[in-house]
Structure formats: structure tokens, C-alpha cells
Chain A
Amino acid sequence: MSDAPVAEVAASEPKHTAPSRARRTALWLRSTHPVVVTVLAFVASIIVGGILIFITDTPTRKAAKYFFSSPGDTFSRGWHAVSQAYVALFEGSIFDPHTAFHGSFWHALSPLSETLLNATPLILAGLAVGLAFRAGLFNIGAQGQLIIGAVFAGYVGFAWHLPVVLHVIVALVAGIIGGALWAGIAGWLKARTGAHEVITTIMLNYVAVALLGYLLTENGFKRSGSNQAISRIVDGNARLPKLFPAPLRVHAGLIIALLAAAGVAWLLNRSRLGFQLRAVGANQFAARTAGMDVGRNYIVSLVLSGALAGLAGCSQILGTNSSITGDIDAGIGFTAITVALLGRAQPWPTVLAGLLFGAFQAGGVTMQSRTTTPIDLVNVLQSIIVLFIAAPALIRALFRLRGAADTSGQQLAKGWNG
């Protein structure tokens, strides 16, 4: 993208001194610009996913048994399965001609609304993971922080009864505190004992899941009269308002997520604290020499990260759902890691990554219900995209791109000793 102004300048100059605009565009397309790499990683993941569908589709495998007498059958069946899955993925996330014209104008926007709905907690949790990344910490405990945040926010939501605007704010604050506390444990352990956060945060995930399982059996938390492990219902006052009329489910959590992205961008790039966090993330020894309290920075960055994950929990319990179940996390905590990696741990790219993976999730639900392809395919696509993104050299080799050695992966390099 940095080449674009140069290209315009070149275009205004006499033609014979610069390559044509088309050639410049072609060169840009063959560079390792992040946008190009992302698009190519997307393409690569779609291809791998297609192969996976092809192999596991039952009619295709049946046709493959008589492959040598009629190879066309295998390919047509396989193509059918692959195209159906991807069409459903698109229809569930962007535009669905089956339902668009059967109802009000809003119905046509329903897939996009689902995409935004799914993107909301992904953006928040992705920001959480990304913020910790920038401070040199790998927070893979977004799942646990999200759960504890949802438990805190949900409890305030159904156990307390407060006036209209106040209630949702108090519930949000509770959720933030819950997530921050849970991540703060890992931060404190890291600062005080040097326990690596990759291990402590993931162990705290399992503890949080067990804790939630326990709460869902306890009176006062559990919905009375229900045989299922489900919590009481959050008060209407504590719910995040819907942004659009009836069939569209996207709620004010999206606005919170965008505000959070702006906040994180300001924090990291404009504030003194953010500078410290980045300094510690870049080189803890240099930061210590410069007089920064590295341990304190670890705690602060994980607390902030947990607060964002707690907000993702709020979005789940105060917005998308109205009561807590054992599945309140819905895989968001781990998808958030891929979101943050795809967004290269920067706030606004993380928002875009969240939107992309939100679309995947929304489309995946439709795909699972309309075709025989399970939604787990989405997880495969996401991790393949990130795997390719993480290795720009691989994308270069695969697609024969040019470009100098890329060290963007290096900024996050940390061993056990660091």
C-alpha cells in the first residue's frame, strides 16, 4: 500500500522513466505486502479445505470405489460437496438469496448481521491476545478470562436489579473486573515467580471451565426448575441494546468492540503506559536498564488483556445470549489467538481479522445445517490461514513471490528464558 502514492507520482511523470502502472500493480501483487500475503493465505486455506471436504465426503468416497471405471463420478460428486459447502459458507455470512427476498428489507441483511454478531467477541478477545503480544506475553487464557468475565457480568445481570442504564454499565464493569482478575493471576505469577504464562493461562482455562461447571449446579446461580446446566436469565435492564430492528441480532457490543480497538490503538501508540508495554515486549532487559519495572508491566498488560477478554464475555452474556451455559466460550478464546495473529497484534487490523473470522463462524453455522460439512472446517481454515501468515517465506515460495527476508515474525520471538 505504501507503493500507491509513488505509483501516482510516477504516473504523472513522463512515461519512459517509469514502468507502466499495470506493471507496477503486477509487481505490487507479487510483493510480500501484508494484504497480498493475507489474500494468498486465504486462497491457500480454501484450497486445503476443499481437499479435506473432497476426501471426507461420503458420496465422493463411494464413487471413488469405482474410480477406474468412471473417474468423472468421483470428481463431480466431490466438486458438488466442495462447492455446496463454500456456497453455504458465503450465504451464511454475506448474502443469502434463499431468504433475502422473503421478508422485510432487514432480512436481506441478516447474514451480515450474523457476521458482525460473531465478530464482536472475536474482536474483543483478539484485541486482548494482541495487547498481551505487544507486551511480550502470550495470553492463551482468553477462554478462561472470557468465562470468568461472563460469570461476573451474568451474576450482576441476574442477581442485582438496577435502573435502566446503570445496570448494563455495572454489569459491564463486573465483567471487566472478572476477566482482569483471572488474567491478573497469571500476570502476578509471571512477575513474582517467573512461571511461564503459556502454561499458567492454559491451566487457568481448565480451572475456569470447572468453576463454571460447579456454579451451574449451585442454587442462586443455576436457573431454578431447570434440569439443564443453565444459569438464571439476565435482566432486560442489563442487556446490551440491539442496534437494528427484529431479525437482526447484532448488538451494542459491536460499538464497544470498536471503541475498545480505538482505545487499544491510543494506549499502544500514544500513551506512556503503552510505550512501556511495547518496550518491555521488545526487549525486557533494555526496558529494565531504562528503569522500567518489568514485573509490574507484565501484570498490567495481562490485567488489561484480561479486561478485554472479560468484555468479550460481556458481549456473549449481555448481548448474544441471555443466560450462561457451559458453552458460553463457544471456542472464542482460541479463535481469538488466530484473530490476533492474523491482525499482527495491531488494533485495527485485528478488527478486520475479527470480521473475517466472524464471517467464517456465521457461515459455518449455515454450512453445518445445510450441508454435510461440519463447522469444524472453519477452525481448519482459520488455523491454515494463520500458519501461512506466520511464515511469509512459505507464501513467497508457494506463489513464487519476490521480496527480501521478512523479519515480522521475529518481533514476537520469545523463549522460556525471556
Chain B
Amino acid sequence: MSAVQAQESDLVESHEVVEVAASQRSRIVSGAVLVVVGLLCVFGFGLGSHAGYDATFHLSPPGASITVPALVAPARIVSIALGALVVAFGVWRIARGFSRRTMRWVVGVSIAAVVFSFLCWSLTGTKGTSLDLLGLLQQTIFLAVPLILGALAGVLCERSGVINVAIEGQMLGGAFAGALLGTIAHNAGVGIIAAMVAGGLIGVLLAVFAIKYVVNQVVLGVVINLLVLGLTGYVYDALMARDQNTYNTPPGLHAINIPGLADIPILGPLLFQQNAIVYAMYVLIIVIDVALFRSRWGLRTRAVGEHPKAADTVAINVRRTRFINVVVGGLVAGLGGASLTIGSALPFGKSMTNGKGFIALAAVIFGRWSPRGAVGAALLFGFADALQNVLSFIGTPVAIPSQFLSMLPYLATILAVAGLVGRVRAPAADGEPYVGR
């Protein structure tokens, strides 16, 4: 726009013109992406799969009292149909556009369609391959547990205005303390408490440095991660690796069947035949989601995270509120760490969190700082992780090297943070220390 035009036209009006142009461009780009991905499904997964083969998905565990018949689908036709659906979404998006609310659903359905058509294709490698869909979903839950707990920890901290990059360290510390003390005490409960305390102590460290000493929170989080990595690695080498039996064989947790609910087909084995940590997680999800938006604590937390000065004016103690939230978040993340060792009866390993804390952080952002959004995002990342496990096990028609499959959760995280959410708005005071009181 030339200078003369800018002078002639009203400033606000010209601003609006730019807005519309940008949104139109993004509409075309996102529509084109959907079309391309849909065509990939049609030609790659649809026509690429063996014509006569069926894709079989099992939905019942062996020996269940009520069995659900397996889902059998002609692989090629289903893949093509799902691909065509995604193409149609893309064309509609370019031609007419979707409202923001609908678009979220369109993206969700498209992802599901692409994944399903991919699964159909991957099952046509050899005739008669079947996929235990229930097992895949069970594994999704299993792998999502630490992510969900980590993400809840992130929501607790960040809603009160403290960025928590130290989730990784809190989970690692929790996994470590759980394995060490659980083994010494021969008691899973002690291990879980130790894990939560460890996470909470790292939370105290974070809170003291971030709130009292006003250290940059992202930098602080990364340094705390390195500290925990060093500490746990040191004790592991000095103590645990030398005598695995005495220090690093954590007791596991038994799965508890909830009477009645556990027998529901599909949902029963998926949700209600889990261990105590998972049930604790259900409770935490509900409590945090309700309390954050319906309780006095939640209102104060959000006020402190959005506008600390206003909160201070109405006599909310900003620093104390943040301190409590960060420490509680640490406890929750520590529980997430416990799920890695105690929850799965696995010994502690050096840097065993493997970026899970950062994926949980991405889930917080992807879920727009709401508990249920974060849980959804964590489930998605858990699914990506489970998918790569399952695929490396059953194999695909075109052999995908296992290393590429193992990138899947990380790539999904990048894609989610970059492509799907667009620009997000964090709590207004997130990461900004409050020096008032």
C-alpha cells in the first residue's frame, strides 16, 4: 500500500482489509493442506494397499465375558473413502470456509480419518494381519498417563502465572525417588509418596527461584532439568546401577477392577482395569477441571495468572498463591514420574523421561491452558507413541525403519504446536514475576 493511499483511507479500515486478506490466505493454505493430505490417503494408502485384503481390528481382550465382534473393513475402499472425505473438507474450506469452531472439529475428524486409513493400509502387508485396536487404545492410555499428569502440573503452574519448563525434571525426579525409596521400603505406596515429594521439592526449588529471586522462568526450568538429570544420573551410577536388587527393583502396582464398570465392553478394559495411579489421575483431572473454573481457589489462581496487580488490589496474596500452585503442580508431576517406574514396575533408567515433560508442556499449550484440553492433547501424543510401538511390531507393507516410527510422537508434537493450534494466548501474566508483594 502506497503512502498516499494510507493517508486517504481511514486507518481502521485499512487494518480490516489486511485482516481479511490474511485470513483468506490462511484459509486457502489450510484447505490446500487438507486436499493434499486427503489425496495422499486416496492414492497412497487407498490405491497403495492390496485390493482384496480386509483390515481386521479386534476390540475385545481374549477371554472377556462379553465379547465385541471384531471390526472387519475392506482396506482399500475404506482408505479411499476416508481420503475422499478429507479432500472434500479441504475443497469446502477453500471455497466456503468453516467457522473457527467447526474448523476445530474438521481438523479432529480429518486426523482421525487419516490415521484410520493409514491403519487400514498398514494392515494389508500380509494377508490376515489383524490389529488389536483395543490393545492400541490401552497402550495409548498407558503412555498418556505421565503426559496427562505432567500436563495437569503445567496447567496448575501456568494458570497462576509461573512457566513450568521443569516438568521434565519433576517427572524424572519422581520416577527416580519412586524407584529408589519404593525398592528400599519394598512398598509401592512409599514409592508413590516419595515420588510426589520429590516432584514437590523440585517445585519448591522452582517456586523459590522464580517467585522469590525473580529468575527468568524458562531458563530456570531448563537449568533445573539439567540439575535433576545430573543428580539422578549421579546417584544412579554411584548407587543404583551397582546394586540393582537393593536399590532399583521397584514394586509394581496391581490392576484393580472396578466392580461393574470393568465388565463394560471396550470401555471396561480400557478405563476400569487400571492401577491406583491411573484412578488417582481420573480424580485429579476432574477435580482440577472443576476447581479451576468453579472454586474460589480456581478464580484466585486465574486472577493471579491473568492480572496479578488486580488480584493484589483485592487482597489476594499473589506470591503465596503462585507458590502453592507451583508446589502442588510439582506433586502432580512427581506422581506422573511414579507412573514410569512404580506404575509400570520398571527400574529407573538414566534420563528415562526422554522428553515426556516437554511433550506434556506442549500438551498444555496445545490444550490452550485448560485441563480438559491438555488431557485431550496428552491423549493424542500418547496415541502417537502407542501407534509407533504397534506399527514397529506388526510391520507395514512398505517397511518403515523403526527410527522413523520412533520420531512419530515428537513430530506430532511439533505439528500440534506449529500447525494445528495457530497462535495461542497464554495466561496474560504467564512467566512474568510479580514484585509487588
With an 8 A cutoff between CB atoms, is A196 at the interface? yes
Cβ of B423 within 8 Å of any chain A Cβ, yes or no, is yes
Which residue, of B220, B230, B355, B414, has the highest number of chain A Cβ atoms within 10 A? Answer: B230
Taken residue by residue from 403 to 424, chain B's Cβ proximity to chain A (1 for < 8 Å, 0 otherwise) reads as: 1101100110110011100111
Q: Which residues of A36-62 have CB atoms within 8 Å of chain B's CB atoms? A: 52, 56-58
* B165→A416 contact, CB < 8 A: no
Partner of A199, one of B217, B354, B365: B365
Interface size class of B (residues with CB under 8 A): 35 or more
A393, B214: Cβ atoms closer than 8 Å: yes
- Contact (Cβ within 8 A) A202 B219: no
Chain B min CB distance to A380 (Å):
4
Cβ of B6 within 8 Å of any chain A Cβ, yes or no, is no
Given A390-B223, A391-B215, A206 and B163 contact (CB-CB distance below 8 Å)? no
Q: Which of A140, A196, A213, A387 makes the CB contact (< 8 A) with B403?
A: A213
B401 touches A214 (CB 8 A): yes
Given contacts A376-B234, A390-B216, A412-B216, contact A211 B403 (CB under 8 A): yes
Residues of A contacting B209 with CB < 8 Å?
Answer: 387, 390-391, 394
Residue of B nearest to A205 (CB): B355
Q: Are A386 and B234 in contact (CB under 8 A)?
A: no
> B429 — nearest CB in chain A belongs to which residue?
A415
Q: Find residues 93-152 in chain A having any chain B CB closer than 8 Å to their own CB.
A: 138, 140
Interface string of B109-120 (1 = CB under 8 A from A): 000000000000
Please tell me if the beta carbons of B218 and A379 are within 8 angstroms of each other in the complex.
no
Complex: A384 Cα to B230 Cα, angstroms: 10
B417 and A416 within 8 A (CB): no
B355 touches A380 (CB 8 A): no
Query: Smallest distance from the beta carbon of A326 to chain B beta carbons, Å?
Result: 11
Interface centre among B235, B242, B413, B418 (most CB of A within 10 A): B418
- A368 and chain B: residue at smallest CB distance: B237
Residues of B within 8 A of A75 (CB): none
Contact B417 A374, beta carbon cutoff 8 Å: no
Could you give, for residues 352-369 of chain B, a 1 whenever the CB lies within 8 Å of some chain A CB and a 0 otherwise?
Answer: 001100110110010000
Contact A52:B231 (CB < 8 A) given known A196-B365, A417-B425: yes
A206 and B355 form a contact (CB under 8 A): yes
The answer, yes or no, to whether A31 is at the interface (CB within 8 Å) is no
Determine whether the beta carbon of A376 is less than 8 Å from that of B237: yes
Please name the residue on chain A nearest to B435 by beta carbon: A405
Q: Could you say which of A194, A200, A380, A414 contacts B414, with CB atoms under 8 Å apart? A: A200
CB distance from B207 to the nearest CB of A (A): 13
In the complex the two chains form, what is the Cα distance from A338 to B230 in whole Å? 13
- The answer to whether B239 and A56 touch across the interface, beta carbons within 8 angstroms, is yes
Q: Which residues of B contact A386 (CB under 8 A)?
A: 223, 226
Contact, CB under 8 Å: B233 / A376: yes
The answer to whether A195 has its CB under 8 Å from any CB of chain B is yes
Chain A residues near B22 (CB-CB < 8 A): none
Contact in complex: B233, A198 (CB < 8 Å) = no
Give the complex CA separation of A373 and B235 in angstroms: 10
A323 in the interface (beta carbon within 8 A): no
B235 — nearest CB in chain A belongs to which residue?
A56
Contact assessment for B401 and A207 in the assembled complex, using a CB-CB cutoff below 8 Å: no
User: Does A89 touch B at the CB level, under 8 Å?
Assistant: no
B229 in contact with A415 (CB, 8 Å): no
B426 and A379: CB pair below 8 A? Answer: no
In chain A, what residue has the closest Cβ to B404? Answer: A214
Query: Are A393 and B213 interface neighbours, CB within 8 A?
Result: yes
Q: Does A84 contact B (CB under 8 A)?
A: no
CB contacts (< 8 Å) of B280 on chain A: these are none
Q: What mask results when residues 313 to 342 of chain A are scored 1 for a CB within 8 Å of chain B, else 0? A: 000000000000000000000100110010
Q: Is the CB of B214 within 8 A of A382?
A: no
Q: Which residues of B contact A219 (CB under 8 A)?
A: none
A252: interface (CB < 8 Å): no
Q: Does B263 contact A (CB under 8 A)?
A: no
Q: Report if A9 contacts B (CB, 8 A).
A: no
Chain B, range 367-415, C-beta contacts under 8 Å to A: 401, 403-404, 406-407, 410-411, 413-414
B239 and A413 form a contact (CB under 8 A): no
Is the CB of A255 closer than 8 A to any CB of chain B? no
Which one of B355, B404, B417, B426 lies within 8 Å of A195 (CB-CB)? B417
User: Are A414 and B216 interface neighbours, CB within 8 A?
Assistant: yes
A203 interface residue, CB < 8 Å from B?
Answer: yes
- In the assembled complex, the Cα of A213 lies from the Cα of B410 at a distance in Å of 15
B219 and A412 contact, CB distance less than 8 A: yes
Query: B220 to chain A: which residues have CB within 8 Å?
Result: 387, 390
Inter-chain contact A207/B226, CB cutoff 8 Å: no
A383 CA to B365 CA in the complex, in Å?
A: 27
A191 to B423 CA separation, bound complex (whole angstroms): 11
Q: Which of B215, B233, B358, B418 contacts A409 (CB 8 A)?
A: B215
Which positions 365-418 of chain A face chain B at CB distance < 8 Å?
372-374, 376-380, 382-384, 386-387, 390-391, 393-394, 409-410, 412-418
Q: In whole angstroms, what is the CA distance A391 to B208 when docked? A: 10
Q: Are B226 and A415 in contact (CB under 8 A)?
A: no
- In the complex, B430 has a CB within 8 A of chain A: yes
Contact B222 A337 (CB under 8 A): yes
User: Top 4 A-B pairs ranked by shortest CB distance?
Assistant: A415-B431, A379-B230, A374-B237, A214-B403
Could you pull out 19 A-B pairs where Cβ atoms are within 8 angstroms?
A: A195-B414, A195-B417, A198-B165, A198-B222, A199-B358, A199-B365, A199-B417, A203-B414, A214-B403, A217-B401, A338-B223, A338-B226, A374-B234, A387-B224, A390-B215, A394-B213, A410-B216, A412-B216, A417-B430
